[in-house]
Amino acid sequence: MGINAELFYVHKGVVNTYALNFVVMIPSHINEIQFSWQSLMNYSLPYVIAVKYGHGGRGALHPPEMNISSTGVIPTYVQTFSIKLMCTGLKNAEIKVEIHLHVSTHKHRNATMLKFRRNKICLKGIGNSRNDSIRLESGSFGAATGSLYVAVACALAMITLVVVTTSAVCIKKKARAQEPTYMTALYDSNPHMFLRSALGRPPSAESGSYATIASVHKGPPSPSPYATSDACQFYATSDACRVSYYASSQIMLISQVSLQDPRLVNPAKRLRSLSVLRQTISLDRIAEEGIFGKVYQGTYRQQTVIIKTTKEAASKRLVGLFLAEGTMMYGMEHKNVLTILCANLDDPKQPLLVYPYSNRGNLKRYLIKCRQKRDNLVLSTQNLVDIAIQILLGIMYLHSQNVCYKDAAVRNAVIDEKLQVKITDNSLSRDMFPNDYFCLADQESKPVKWMALESLIYNQYSAESDVWSFGVVLWELTTMAQQPFPDVDPFEMSTYLRNGFRLGQPLGCPDELFAVMTYCWLNCPTERPQMNQLLAYLQDFYTALCRFV
């Protein structure tokens, strides 16, 4: 009897249900995929293989080329073959590719049909060279990475058909020209994670959005219980979506209200409440120093603290900005928010702001150390996702307090030895990270390359613009604090984004995380995911990583 079956992914003897129904993108610069197969019976197995293109393939893709015949036998030894999918470069297109493999047996006269589904990306006039950024357009999705994700960052991952009892065919898929990755520890040693994408249908071309995410289902599954936006929703099947503790907390149940910026309010009242005597604060050593600011490690009431202050050279305007930004977390109580402890204004030119101490310091500097493999510091993919969840929880708490963050970035977070992360205010960030801020026409120093399109063009900030910035935070985490858009002129950023260009997929970044980033960078603010949707997905993804790695 014949069995028409989908493929099950097996990792270390366990069927990975997260890989089912996962349609994988083949980026435009990848033109060949490779397979290895072997009959596990004591005899070879006849096969018939064919490659079919979906709508839009004509004119965009050359006919497929295989280095094996369309009919033959699967040998009892490991054999590798390849399929070439060459773009013509004549037009932009996202083409559905189906590889049909028909395997039969001599003795039992049964047969099994396997379908490998891929989405091939072709871009007009663009060859197979690597790009550092991607362009999102209506009806197409272009991405550039240094490695081929045939499944989810898979290389030599075992895939076994488990539904056929009379015959067994073992198929390996491997990435071509796999490049080094910035991921460390567990992800470096276990890059073969086959995880279902719980994201749903991307916005349609008519919505005005550039994004069409090829690695995400476009069918009509049931909406997630967290999806509240009509314009942009996440979707998940009921048996796959697990409600996390965080996603069911009351932080998510707050209605959308207008968010305020405490930096625009005179901080005098906050400072009066925070004021303490100067003798209670001890400055022990300088931890960091900029042009107009200093960061000390010191003590306050017998506890180790971080103390920020300005230099005498700082102007009155800079001191005022420092106090407004440094006290914006006043009154906040959340495990992922660094709340200011106290302040001293005995010297109005050099006020002191005191914060709790995190012994591993600034998150950006910590990630750079991990990337450079200094002090034997490593972070697994699970660690990075957990850090992202903590940052997201902190931002969500600020939103619940009607505060718009406006500067989400790894430089504005601290981390301790237990990898507990707290988001911070951005006081002195411009001074300590001058390459991350730029002055545009309004002469205000802004984190241009972290800002949403509407923030750059119209100076509009909202929960949705914080979602955009959080997408850049995810990109920073997966690149270990690389600089976004390093070659783009800050004055050209709005034009660059308006033309559909976005950050490319980092090396070693799981497709699921990159899909999340891409959703965060949709042009239309209302089409971006809401914070609760991001949290539910990341928590689900984290649980899956813990289970299958």
Which conformational region is residue 393 in: left (phi greater than 0), alpha (psi within -120 to 50 degrees), or beta? alpha
The three-class DSSP label of residue 376 is helix
Report which of 40, 172, 37 is spatially closest to residue 105, judged by C-alpha positions. Answer: 40
Q: Are 373 and 302 in contact (CB under 8 A)?
A: no
Sign of CA dihedral 308, 310, 315, 320: positive
- Look at the block and give the residue holding tokens 């001074």: 431
Beta strands at 133-137 and 93-104: parallel, antiparallel or unpaired: unpaired
How large is the C-alpha radius of gyration of the chain?
26
The tally of CA atoms less than 13 A away on the side-chain side of residue 52 is: 10
Q: Are 539 and 224 in contact (CB under 8 A)?
A: no
Phi, psi of 52 (to 5 degrees): -120, 140
Count of residues in the chain: 549
What is the C-alpha separation between 139 and 546, in angstroms, rounded? 35
- The two three-digit tokens of residue 533, written as one number: 């949707």
What is the C-alpha separation between 435 and 429, in angstroms, rounded? 10
| Residue 444, number of CB atoms within 10 A of its CB | 11
Beta strands at 133-137 and 501-503: parallel, antiparallel or unpaired: antiparallel
What is the C-alpha separation between 100 and 4, in angstroms, rounded? 11
- Look at the block and give the residue holding tokens 């929880």: 393
What is the C-alpha separation between 11 and 22, in angstroms, rounded? 16
> Could you say which of 407, 431, 436, 466 is catalytic?
407
| Residue 453, number of CB atoms within 10 A of its CB | 20
407 classed as catalytic: yes
CA distances from 140 to 29, 119, 135, 212, 233 (A): 14, 11, 9, 6, 19
What one-character-per-residue DSSP string does 13-67 give? TEEEGGGTT-PEEE-TT--EEEEEEEE-SSS-EEEEEEEEE-TT-TTTBPPPEES
Which residues have a Cβ under 8 Å from the Cβ of 502 and sit 6 or more positions away?
133, 134, 135, 136, 518, 521
Q: Which residues are catalytic?
A: 407
